[in-house]
Amino acid sequence: MSAADVPGQAFTERLWAQLKPGVSFTEAIRGAMAPESRILEIGPGAAPVFRRRDFPRLKVSDCCDTAELRRQLQSAYKLETLPPDLFDDIDYVCADSRLAECVPAGERFELIFSSHNVEHQPDLLAHLRSLQALLDEDGAVALVVPHKQRTFDVFRPPTTTSDVLMTHYGPPGWKATQLAFDADSRSAIAPPGSTHLFGASDPMALGDLGQAFERLQARLRGEATDLAYLHHHVFTPASMQALLIELYLLRQCDLLPCLCSGAVSNSFMIVLQEVPWPGDPAQAAVLRTRLEELRMEHYRKMAFQGG
């Protein structure tokens, strides 16, 4: 009997039981779910973790429909054809972070999963609110996220709460243009064929500053909108947990981290669950105090331990 068959266990408990040496994040997440589970996978492209043949109630969301994704992959990899069963048909097309508006009313999921996707969301707050709206009562969001210290984002600062709020509430496109300049000018470029993880002694270069400025000016003139490649957001485990806690304390979103790993290869895993704000003032005060303590712990890790 698998862990997913044990009645009454929360997703995090089942996931914890799956996390063993040699087991990847995605293998553990998949092993924690029963075949009949209602699962939404976001942005899998040509590398899905869940397949409909194993999880018949699976739904898939991506930034384009099935036919367009196949066309893009054929073009990118210069292929005449693609295997017909490379990935499942896409159910929901969403390119602006407001996924809940693309899903039929009343549809809810026990697990929402994405790998190397959340950093591409143009409006992170809208995306998180969509995830919350689509979660079942006891559902969970599991994200595999690039660790900034292990990727080409190593020289970029982590995304802050003000970045997220300005993107959502500020002038349209302004923050994305700023982030695009940072990505163009401060991304680490590894030598061709390199397989390193962007360590202090590894050879690398920075993005071309002049080209980054030219692209910034073009975007400000409305002449360039090529942001699909962009990591809009940059995270470490501590920075992402601090950001989520701050959004929660500001009453912007009710998703809180309940499990977060350290770095494995170039990624970390974080699991979120909905925690409604307590209606009782005394309980709310206790929760606020504890979250402020955790917030300080995460900032200490970012400042003194590299996040």
Residue pair 53/89 in contact (Cβ under 8 Å)? The answer is no
What burial class does residue 124 get, using C-beta atoms within 10 Å of its C-beta: 0-12 exposed, 13-18 middle, 19+ buried? buried
Flag whether pLDDT at 273 surpasses 80.
yes
Name the pTM for this structure: 0.92
Residue the block writes with tokens 């026990």: 110
pLDDT in tens, 188-246: 998 887 777 788 888 999 999 999 999 999 989 888 666 667 799 999 999 999 999 99
Specify the fold of 3-149+236-304: Rossmann fold (3.40.50)
Reduced to 3 states, what is the DSSP secondary structure of residue 76?
Answer: helix
Encode 70-91: b = buried (16+ Cβ within 10 Å), e = exposed: beeeeeeeeeeeeeeeebbebb
Residue with tokens 């698998």: 2
Average pLDDT score, the chain:
91
Fill in the DSSP letter of residue 278. P
Q: What is the pLDDT of residue 226?
A: 66
**pLDDT tens digits, one per residue of 251-261:** 999 999 999 99
Report the pLDDT averaged over residues 263-268: 92
Estimate to the nearest angstrom the gap between the alpha carbon of 289 and the chain centroid: 27
The SS3 of residue 88 is coil
Q: Where are the domains of the chain?
A: 3-149+236-304, 151-220
Q: Which amino acid is at 291?
A: L
* Closest CA relative to residue 26, chosen from 144, 189, 151: 144
